[in-house]
Amino acid sequence: MNILFDGIVFSIQRYGGISVYFHELLRCLSSANVSADILIEDPTCQSFEMPQGGNLLSRDARILERYRLCRVHTASAIFHSSYYRRPSINSIPSVVTVHDFVYERYARGPKRWVHMHQKHAAIRAAQAVICISESTRQDMLEFVGEIPGQAVHVIHNGVSDVFCPLSLSAAPVPPYVLYVGERRGYKNFMQLLAAMELLPDLELHCVGGGALRAEELAAMPVGTKRRIKHLGFVTDEALNEHYNRALCLVYPSSYEGFGIPVVEAMRAGCPVVSTQCKAIMEVGGDALTVAADADPRALADSVLRLASVEYRNQMVSKGFEVSKHFSWDKTHEGTLAVYKSLGASPG
């Protein structure tokens, strides 16, 4: 079985949900009897660490390469784009993984239309589509529509084995809630900042998402600002320790394709506060402490519920059970079945 990937996502995103997805998929494929080639077009990505068993096929980068057809070198493979491109050879079967429809829902201007044109064309041309959640599949029907003869598969993301409960010393003083990831508009981080005014005994520790922006700093009352700590990028091992030490993860996003931090936290024994986001509700189920909306008072009240040791322990137990449904091995097995459905044979 020969699978050809383009490496465009690794020039767009150094570390994030989509790049993690493809790195984990490549890692799993390398442990199976699968030949995986990845086309790297950005010279800054030549240090990309290809899992053992795969091959890097590099070539010179071209301007706007991500918006062009991917120039494949063989027709005897299945093409799987890492970021919504079509192969230059029409006869090669193609697979597209659809992660979310953030651009369609929230972006404005030319960037939105360019992204939509490229993405929707890749989806329509694919013989098989993988959606990372049922929520994303429903969004695809809304924005792209049903494509006759096209196979659509819902295959959930996985979670790294790094995330697990640890035997730690005493709980941190003062206790803190954790926020992980980007903080742009629909993530509702500003509402969480406002909620911290109602939680004077707690700190907020933020991981990832870049440095705090001027408007975020300006939104922090003086009494709250000293309780907000930005930790920047951390390793998975360090993040696992933060999950283990936190009172809870607060994930107030209005929209997600999946929400990997939710499963990471549950796997590490950290309960999760969320809003009624479709994808997060699908993934987290009854292990979530759900705020009615992203209103600061609703978020604060949900966090305070977890101050009860009995309730928190109950949600931790539920989280462990939910997290068992997600693994990169399951993602790999489902994806391998998609490749086989397109005529690829092992070996």
- Mean pLDDT across the chain: 86
For domain 176-323, is the CATH number 3.40.50.300? no
**Confidence (pLDDT) at 221:** 81
Residue 63: pLDDT above 50? no
**Confidence (pLDDT) at 61:** 41
Query: What's the rounded mean pLDDT across residues 319-343?
Result: 95
**Confidence (pLDDT) at 65:** 44
CATH of domain 2-158+327-341: 3.40.50.2000
Q: What percentage of the chain exceeds 90 in pLDDT?
A: 63
DSSP code of residue 90: T
User: Length of the chain in residues, anyone?
Assistant: 347
**Confidence (pLDDT) at 56:** 46
Query: What's the rounded mean pLDDT across residues 49-61?
Result: 49
**Confidence (pLDDT) at 17:** 73
Q: Following DSSP, what letter does each residue of 189-229 receive, concatenated? A: HHHHHHHHTT-TT-EEEEESSSSPPHHHHHTS-HHHHTTEE
pLDDT confidence band for 98 (50 / 70 / 90): very high
CA atoms within 13 A on the CB side of 9: 21
pLDDT confidence band for 242 (50 / 70 / 90): very high
This prediction's pTM: 0.88
Q: Following DSSP, what letter does each residue of 143-204 receive, concatenated? A: HT-PPTT-EEEE------TT------SSPPSS-EEEEES--SGGG-HHHHHHHHTT-TT-EE
Angle at 332 between CA 45 and CA 31, to 5 degrees: 70
Residue 41: pLDDT above 60? no
**210 compared with 62, residue with greater pLDDT:** 210
Query: What's the rounded mean pLDDT across residues 45-56?
Result: 50
Task: Give yes or no on whether 2-158+327-341 and 176-323 have one common fold.
Answer: yes
Residue 96 token pair: 């597209």
- In the chain, where are the structural domains located? 2-158+327-341, 176-323
Which residues are CB-contacts of 332 (< 8 A; sequence separation ≥ 6)? 24, 25, 28, 29, 32, 158
Per the CB < 8 A criterion, the answer to whether 183 and 189 are in contact is yes
Distance separating alpha carbons of residues 152 and 149, to the nearest angstrom: 10
- The string of pLDDT tens digits covering residues 165-216 is 999 877 677 899 999 999 999 999 999 999 999 999 999 999 998 888 999 9
Phi-psi label, residue 343: left if phi above 0, alpha if psi -120 to 50, beta otherwise: left
- The string of pLDDT tens digits covering residues 107-160 is 999 989 988 999 999 999 999 999 999 999 999 999 999 999 999 999 999 999
Query: What's the rounded mean pLDDT across residues 5-18?
Result: 69
Q: What percentage of the chain exceeds 70 in pLDDT?
A: 82
Q: In terms of Cα–Cα distance, which of 135, 205, 202, 164 is closest to 319?
A: 164
H-helix or E-strand containing 21? helix 17-31
Type of residue found at 317: S
**Confidence (pLDDT) at 163:** 98
**Confidence (pLDDT) at 248:** 98
Pairing of strands 2-6, 272-274: unpaired
- The string of pLDDT tens digits covering residues 271-300 is 999 999 999 999 999 999 999 889 999 999
pLDDT confidence band for 76 (50 / 70 / 90): low
Query: What's the rounded mean pLDDT across residues 243-264?
Result: 97
**Confidence (pLDDT) at 143:** 97
- The string of pLDDT tens digits covering residues 213-227 is 999 999 888 888 999
Residue 321: pLDDT above 90? yes
